[in-house]
Amino acid sequence: MEFILNEESLKGQFTTVQDFLESLKSNIRCFHIIRKSERNTISKIDNFYDCYVTSDIRIRDLHNCPCSDELVAFQYQLEQEIYNLPHWDKNPMHDLSKAYLLEESDMVATGIAEATERDHLLLSFDMEKFKDCTLHIQAADREELVSSIYSPAFLMECVGKQLGIHGDDILKIRYEGTRIDCSSIEMKYGTEILNENQLQQIISSMDKFAKHETWENIDRDDGLEYKKYTPDSPKHNWYNGSMYRDKQIMKFRASSLLRVHGYRKGDKFRVLRFEIDHKQSDHG
């Protein structure tokens, strides 16, 4: 797959260099995921290093700016990306004589226009206009939709499967940094047992769960029905014989039949299993 690094999303919008470097955590994570396959490429303009980070500091100036070891590491990884080939502007695929309109602005000769003629995938920096959204580009007599990706979660939403990432790992990446932890999903009861509609219902419910600011709000959400799993007898205990038999298993609702099972650890809900037919919940 071919991604285009979006130079239009770096226009000096950051107040300080530190703010910019801290925002790179999401970008760097996306780079690492994409680079796991040599078939994937990240193209950019030849002079990407001239993009402004703050109102007066360009990427090329960053090495003169003091910062912590962690931020230096982010800076190094960014430079590794922008100075590497390929450069799409050496052989552009979009027609430089035509307009590529984003709202009222002509994006010709930018990575945005180039993405419309390639795989329709942009990697953008932390700018509200381009942050995890779909861009509607009017190119001549047609409209093209381009995914503008900032976070690993949106990368998974757009092309997780196409990148060859297992469904359970897509969820793990999607919910990194939230109160949902998908690192312990049991494969036998994971995404492989879900059809596409069931998966989308699960994601919708987990998104809702993750967005709640407090556990009290989760408890009060009648749609989620977050509660203890309480089997009515040992023979109906889904977790008998498992390593989680001594955990207080909780569950929440994704549809009339679908349930998400797991347990709370600190401020995280650790997902273990998906229940697709309500047969376990019939007994607790």
Would you say residue 232 has pLDDT above 90?
yes
Domains of the chain, residue spans: 2-152, 166-283
Backbone angles phi, psi at 61, to 5 degrees: -90, -5
Peptide bond into 86 cis (omega under 30): yes
Would you say residue 21 has pLDDT above 90?
yes
User: Average pLDDT of the chain?
Assistant: 96
Mean local confidence (pLDDT), 28-45: 96
CA neighbor of 112 nearest in space, from 22, 40, 44: 44
pLDDT at position 34: 97
pLDDT at position 63: 84
pLDDT at position 161: 95
Mean local confidence (pLDDT), 213-231: 97
Tens of pLDDT, residue by residue over 187-216, are 999 999 999 999 999 999 999 999 999 999
Q: Which of 82-86, 88-92, 156-160, 174-178 has the lowest mean pLDDT?
A: 82-86
Tens of pLDDT, residue by residue over 87-138, are 999 999 999 999 999 999 999 999 999 999 999 999 999 999 999 999 999 9
Output the pTM of the full model. 0.93
Fold designation for 166-283: YaeB-like fold (3.30.2310)
CA–CA dist 212, 107 (Å, integer): 38
User: DSSP assignment of 153-206, as one string?
Assistant: HHHHHHHTTTTT--HHHHHHHHTTTSSEE-TT--GGGSGGG--HHHHHHHHHHH
pLDDT at position 66: 83
H or E, element range at 42: strand 41-43
Banded pLDDT at 64 (limits 50, 70, 90): confident
